[in-house]
Structure 1
Amino acid sequence: MYHDSFTLSFFTANDPMDNAIPSLHIGLPVGLLIINRLHCRELGVKVKEWRHREFDIFIIVNILIYIFSIQYLGIHWIVDIIPGIGLAFITSYFVHQIQPKLRSENFSKINFILPNKKQLYSIVGVSFISTFLIFFIVIDGPGTSDDEPNYRLGLEDVNLETIEVHSLSNPVNVEVINVGEESVQLLLIKTSIAEKHAEKGIFDWEALSSKGELFSLSPKENTSFSVTTESIYDSYIILSKLKNPDSCSEFSDCEIMKNSVGEIRIITHYFDDELIWSAYIVSLPSFYIVGYVLGMSDKEIMSIKTS
């Protein structure tokens, strides 16, 4: 997807395609479908007889397209989609319960959000579990080990890592570890330059190698460097590939070369990495919402009282 001049420019500038769990590409439209059905159920009409049925069908078709496209393009995986659907149920029920109360002039805007005893227990449980997952699984879990590769390279592969612009005054510190058994090459280059040499799924490595900073890593070797950007449009990427092997003399040697797989781990340290605590604090309302909904009874979910 990145190996094309237009898409390389568009996606690195607008969406670096490093979306994570849960998938809001699926969560948002699925949430809208659920709200539609809750609304129809409240009105006592069937979805098939709803006057906005065409809009509902349009959303369904788009969801099917999204499910295929985001996995085909590598934006999300199935493990991102399932939690996205779960998030859609949580937020839809919360909105269906709270939104009419917010619009009501006769409803107390102080007490409507306060949880009952069951919801309070649920909120505490969700907060505890989420905190544990964030700090012991997501941040320092097994997948974060320096010995685990986050890129694998075949013989003709050229992989790409986007260095995002977080600050114009603080550099991004990058560490690359060759955790595999094959030698690899890395190329640090400006995105604007790489765009000119990417077409139809192929990077012109020979043309690019003289226009950026080239690194070679033997097995188990590592390197570190810093990247400073001068403007928000001055982005960089890291291209990686297997180091060109010597020509093979026998058929068996050629087969071994074709089956070679390089494994590297690229770690980017942004200046705001320590802001994890502020990110955690900002997440607290979401813990509250999840616990609030999980603590609701079915009757509470389906009944709306605005006065």
Structure 2
Amino acid sequence: MASPYWVMMGIILILTPVICWLFTAHKPTMRTPLRKIGQMIHDQRYYLHIMGYIVIIVWKGITDKLNEPIKTHTGHWTDIVYGLEGEIVLWIQQAFENPSLTAFLNFHYLFIYLFLIYVTTVYFAFSGERDMTDKVTLNYLLIYAIAVPYYLFFNVEVTSSWIPGMDALLYHDGTYTSFYVSHDPLDNAVPSLHVAIPFGILLLNWLHVKEKGVRLRDWEHWRYHVFIAANTILFMFSILYLGIHWIIDIPLGMAVGGIGALFIHQKQPRLRNGYGTTFRGFTKKKWKDHILVEGLVGLLLLAAIVGALSLQDDRMDEVPSFRLGPGDSTYDIVQQISFHESVEVSITNWGDEQTLEVLLIVVQNSENAMVDGEIDWEQLSSFSEVTTIVPGDTIKLTVDQPKVWTLVVLHHPGGEDSGILEVAITNQYPDNASLTSAYLLSIPSLWITGNVVYRLVRVKKSGMEWYSSLPSHTWSSNEESE
């Protein structure tokens, strides 16, 4: 069966011209004639945008591959988030749970996310909005870059892995299971890119028209803006309902989207809008000031990361990896390995009286047992050998099958009165990836954050509007114009 990703992309490819036509129906003059599409791509250098999408796919692959091996150093912070929020998301899921709603939101979660990422760029290009085409493309690339250190160093498990009774309505669902296992580490809950990316687009739209002195409602792309806003609100509900994100992921996602949008809004004019070369106006003093201030902000953020790692080193042995209620099943992911490699999986039952049942299975072989947000343990256990772990005991399993994604499936076999069972899992990968790579991947995020902070300070000092995108050498109010 085809991957859900390619099914969705096929639908998007078919619908793209329809959507572009629909949202320009009120003003057909915006449309680029089909015979001029190729010339437009060449003249506006939109081939660079295509390359940008390739870069982010590669970047995400590198980050995801690093995510699991370094968890022996980074641990996770799910217990702290749970301590702040409790089980509000469980109430949301149970209050609204409905098979039809679940099916719709499963489709919406993947389809509209991909739609907004790709079609928004095409829509703005088709309607002649070169600057917005640049900005929404950079939005996807840079917002993911900003999120990288949070995903690598501040892991938070999805709600369905931590809250007993919370169903994984998105992840435990046939072929969707295989897709998400290979694309989602399930511990990148904070922040939510399903909020950050569309919120970044919304903020870019607002900044764009605000600077032009146009009311957003009067903007010719108002209809598409409303479409994005409506889907962003729906995302905020669906990520909670489907057993994925915590409530705190929403404001943190908006913060990441806001930083990305401000950075893009500030930098795009230097790249495109006739203000001279990219670094025009940069004197030695400016270079020194940028390096000093932005470097200081970056170092403060880096210190926070190092401090977090130090704290995790002290508490890692005290925090379980998963919490299961009676009858619950969940899984940990062992990512693909190469030939002649193996991963040693260490599993400890932290329960006082209750046994834990465990099995290993290749994800594709588990699809039939993943139904409606639940794992059919009886069916799954008929496919693979089950190991029972008594309270307080630790076992080690070896995963050595190459080029496949393997699930370590955990099951709490106790009755309703048996309580919550806590489990600790450690996966020792062959290369035991260095934290240095994680630090290097985080540098763009630290710099972008520092740059946005420094820019806002300079704009305020110069008496400019905070949303101004004018390069500093065009300012006339102070030494920035020198």
Under a length normalisation based on structure 1, what TM-score does the superposition of the two structures give?
0.84
Indicate how the Cα distance of structure 1 residues 179 and 39 shifts in structure 2: closer, same or farther if over 3 A, else same: same
> Which letter does structure 2 place at the counterpart of 1:68?
F
Pair 99,271 (structure 1): closer, same or farther in 2 beyond 3 Å? farther
- Ranked by relative contact order (alpha carbons within 8 Å, sequence separation 6 or more), the top structure is 1
Match runs of 1:1-307 below 5 Å: 1=169, 2-104=171-273, 106-111=275-280, 119-138=290-309, 140-141=311-312, 145-165=316-336, 167-181=338-352, 182-231=354-403, 234-244=404-414, 257-296=416-455, 297-298=459-460, 299=464, 301-305=466-470
How far apart, CA to CA, are the structure 2 residues paired with 1:73 and 1:272? 34
Q: Is the 8 A contact 1:101 1:107 kept in 2?
A: yes
Question: Is contact 1:185–1:217 with CA below 8 Å preserved after alignment?
Answer: yes
- Report SS of the residue matched to 1:258: coil
Of the structure 1 ranges 162-171 and 72-81, higher mean CA displacement relative to structure 2 is found in 162-171
Which deviations, in whole Å up to 9, do the C-alpha atoms of 1:1-34 show, x marking residues without a partner? 2333233233224435432322221111111111
Cα distance in structure 2, aligned partners of 1:275 and 1:60: 40
Deviations 1:116-145, CA, capped at 9 Å, x for gaps: 676545423322222122223157527951
Q: Is the 8 A contact 1:93 1:301 kept in 2?
A: no
Amino acid of the residue matched to residue 278 of structure 2?
K
CA contact (8 A) 1:152 1:263 kept: yes
78 and 49 in structure 1: CA distance in 2 versus 1, 3 angstrom threshold: same
CA distance in 2, matches of 1:244, 1:22: 34
Mapped partners of 1:155, 1:176: distance in 2: 19
Q: Residues of 2 paired with 1:196 and 1:112: CA distance?
A: 62
Give, in angstroms, the shift of residue 264 of structure 1: 0.2
The amino acid of 2:319's aligned partner reads: E
RMSD across aligned positions (CA): 2.7
Distance 1:139 1:243 in 2: 36
Q: Is the Cα–Cα contact under 8 Å of residues 153 and 262 in structure 1 kept in the other structure?
A: yes
Query: What is the CA–CA distance in structure 1 between the aligned matches of 2:222 and 2:215, rounded to whole Å?
Result: 10
Question: Larger deviation: 110-119 or 220-229?
Answer: 110-119
Distance, in Å, in 2 between the alignment partners of 1:143 and 1:158 is 29
Distance 1:113 1:264 in 2: 55
CA contact (8 A) 2:359 2:387 kept: yes
Q: Distance in 2 between matches of 1:113 and 1:293?
A: 17
Q: CA offset at residue 106 of structure 1?
A: 5.0
Taking structure 1 as reference, are residues 198 and 293 closer, same or farther at Cα in structure 2, changes over 3 Å only?
Answer: closer
Structure-2 change in CA distance of 1:208 and 1:275 (3 Å): same
Contact 2:347 2:395 in 1 (8 A): yes
Letter in 1 for 2:408: I
Change (3 A) 1:120 1:301: farther
Counterpart for residue 253 of structure 1: none
- CA-to-aligned-CA distance 1:210-260 (integer Å, 9 cap, x gap): 4324222122211122212322xx221111112457xxxxxxxxxxx5242
Instruction: State TM-score, norm by structure 2.
Output: 0.55
Whose strand proportion is higher, 1 or 2?
A: 1
- The 2-side partners of 1:304 and 1:190 are apart by 51
What's the CA shift for 1:59? 1.0
Seq. identity, %: 31
Supply the distance in 1 between the matched residues of 2:225 and 2:263 (Cα, whole angstroms): 20
Distance in 2 (alpha carbons) for counterparts of 1:271 and 1:127: 32
Q: Structure 1 or 2: larger helix share?
A: 2
8 Å contact from structure 2 (residues 361, 384) kept in 1: yes
The alpha carbon displacement at 1:111 in A equals 4.9
Residue 281 of structure 1 and its aligned partner are, at CA, apart by 1.4
| Larger mean Cα displacement after TM superposition, 206-215 or 27-36 | 206-215
Counterpart code for 2:336: V
Q: Which amino acid aligns with 1:292?
A: N
18 and 66 in structure 1: CA distance in 2 versus 1, 3 angstrom threshold: same
Q: Distance in 2 between matches of 1:146 and 1:235?
A: 26
Greater alpha carbon shift after TM alignment, 205-214 vs 92-101? 205-214
Counterpart of 1:173 in 2: which secondary structure? strand
Gaps of 5+ in 2: 1-168, 475-482
Amino acid aligned to 1:194: S
Unaligned runs of 5+ in 1: 246-256
